[in-house]
Homo-oligomer: A and B are copies of this chain.
Amino acid sequence: MSVSHDVAAIGNAIVDVIAPAEDAFLAANDLVKGSMMLIDEARAHDLYGRMGQAIEASGGSAGNTVAGVASFGGRAAYVGKVSADQLGEVFQHDTRALGVHFETPMLAGGPATGRCLINVTPDGERTMCTFLGASVELTAADVSASVIEGAAIVYLEGYLFDPPGARRAFAKAAGLARAAGRTIAITLSDAFVVERHRAALLEFIETEVDLVFANEIELKSLFQTDDFDAATRAIRGRAGVAAITRGEKGSIVLTDTECVAVDAEPVAKVLDTTGAGDQYAAGFMLGLARGRPFEVCARLGGLAAAEVISHYGPRPAVSLAELAAAHGLF
């Protein structure tokens, strides 16, 4: 089958609700800075009531990544579940407005569209509380074989290990992608996700995955070590390619035989780190799908991450294709 998309991604379809907050607010609400915590609808209602004035923007980790791929001029497809409500319409609109193929049917009569309450502290760090809502209703039936088989890279969110139905969708997509000879990529998503699903994630990586995205904390959590070098040795034996992001220290790309380190792109002022990892994955995969060497892939990822943390919101505010061209990367 010919390749119709550079990247097809499956994820929890979520609308972000982003508000500035002081560190004291996190403490008063038992929130662990920089983490993602799952909350139920009652807690979401309660926490929202205590948050400041917010803006809403379509998010979801993999949703942000396909937005980044599209902004680079890549062809992207997305699979994820929203409800047939106003926030679901917002998510569907924003995803399609970028030219992303997105045909997952909206859920009728179930939970509302999922949302992620994001408190951004003055240092730009984001702390997320997610009410998964309709996104947990994603099923294997929503995974279209033609979309998966027609994508150069199939990208899966670690967050999908939380909802059981989504996990079956995840497994189906991986099976289809493997049979079609496609590259399978996964992001570990969050250290708490890794803690909740460590064994299953490790097994999945060893048996199915070609490309792993993780940040330093997630990687260390995966191998239950505080020693970054030990964690990098451990992942090299298990994943074909691992792209590890290290915040202001840049990123490194590891294979059995290679180790490529790339500096972070300078940022004048970090306003909101939401989406940094998602955009890194977008740039990296677009580079990979276009056959660029790992160093260029990592630089494209770093460029997209730097753009998104310099403003509020999880998706690019400018054309990443133009930005990459200006940096001589396209």
Chain B residues lying within 8 Å of A93, measured Cβ to Cβ, are 48-49, 51, 53-54
Binary CB contact string for chain A from 280 to 324 against chain B (1 if under 8 A, 0 otherwise): 000000000000000000000000000000000101010000000
**Which of A55-63, A173-181, A191-199, A249-257 lines the interface with chain B?**
A55-63
Stoichiometry (number of copies): 2
Given A53-B98, A54-B90, 6 additional A-B pairs, CB 8 A: A51-B93, A51-B97, A54-B93, A55-B56, A56-B56, A86-B112
A103 to B169, CA, bound (A): 44
Q: Is A242 part of the contact surface with B, judged by Cβ < 8 Å?
A: no
Binary CB contact string for chain A from 90 to 105 against chain B (1 if under 8 A, 0 otherwise): 1001100110000000
Q: Which A162-184 residues have C-beta < 8 A from chain B? A: none
Q: Which A52-95 residues have C-beta < 8 A from chain B? A: 52-58, 67, 85-87, 90, 93-94
Please give the distance in Å from A115's CB to the nearest CB on chain B: 9
A276 to B293, CA, bound (A): 48
Please give the distance in Å from A260's CB to the nearest CB on chain B: 32
A208 to B97, CA, bound (A): 47
A38 to B174, CA, bound (A): 48
Interface residues of A (CB under 8 A from B): 19-20, 48-49, 51-58, 67, 85-87, 90, 93-94, 97-98, 112-113, 313, 315, 317
Is the pair A57, B55 in contact by a Cβ cutoff of 8 Å? yes
Chain B residues lying within 8 Å of A54, measured Cβ to Cβ, are 90, 93-94, 97
Chain B residues lying within 8 Å of A52, measured Cβ to Cβ, are 97-98
Is the pair A53, B97 in contact by a Cβ cutoff of 8 Å? yes
Is the pair A55, B313 in contact by a Cβ cutoff of 8 Å? yes
What are 14 A-to-B residue pairs whose CB atoms are below 8 Å?
A48-B93, A49-B93, A51-B93, A51-B97, A52-B97, A52-B98, A53-B58, A53-B93, A53-B94, A54-B97, A56-B57, A85-B85, A85-B86, A86-B87
Is the pair B315, A90 in contact by a Cβ cutoff of 8 Å? no
A56: nearest chain-B partner, CB-CB: B56
**A90 touches which of B56, B57, B58, B98 (Cβ 8 Å):** B56
A94 to B55, CA, bound (A): 9
Please give the distance in Å from A56's CB to the nearest CB on chain B: 4
Chain B residues lying within 8 Å of A97, measured Cβ to Cβ, are 19, 51-54
Chain B residues lying within 8 Å of A87, measured Cβ to Cβ, are 86
Chain B residues lying within 8 Å of A317, measured Cβ to Cβ, are 20
Chain B residues lying within 8 Å of A94, measured Cβ to Cβ, are 53-54
Q: Could you say which of A58, A67, A94 has the most chain B C-beta atoms within 10 Å of its C-beta?
A: A94
Please give the distance in Å from A62's CB to the nearest CB on chain B: 16
A113 to B87, CA, bound (A): 13
A58 to B113, CA, bound (A): 19
A51 to B90, CA, bound (A): 12
Q: Could you say which of A86, A97, A113, A317 has the most chain B C-beta atoms within 10 Å of its C-beta?
A: A86
Please give the distance in Å from A92's CB to the nearest CB on chain B: 10
A113: nearest chain-B partner, CB-CB: B86
State the 5 A-B residue pairs at the shortest beta-carbon distance, nearest first: A56-B56, A86-B86, A53-B94, A55-B57, A53-B97
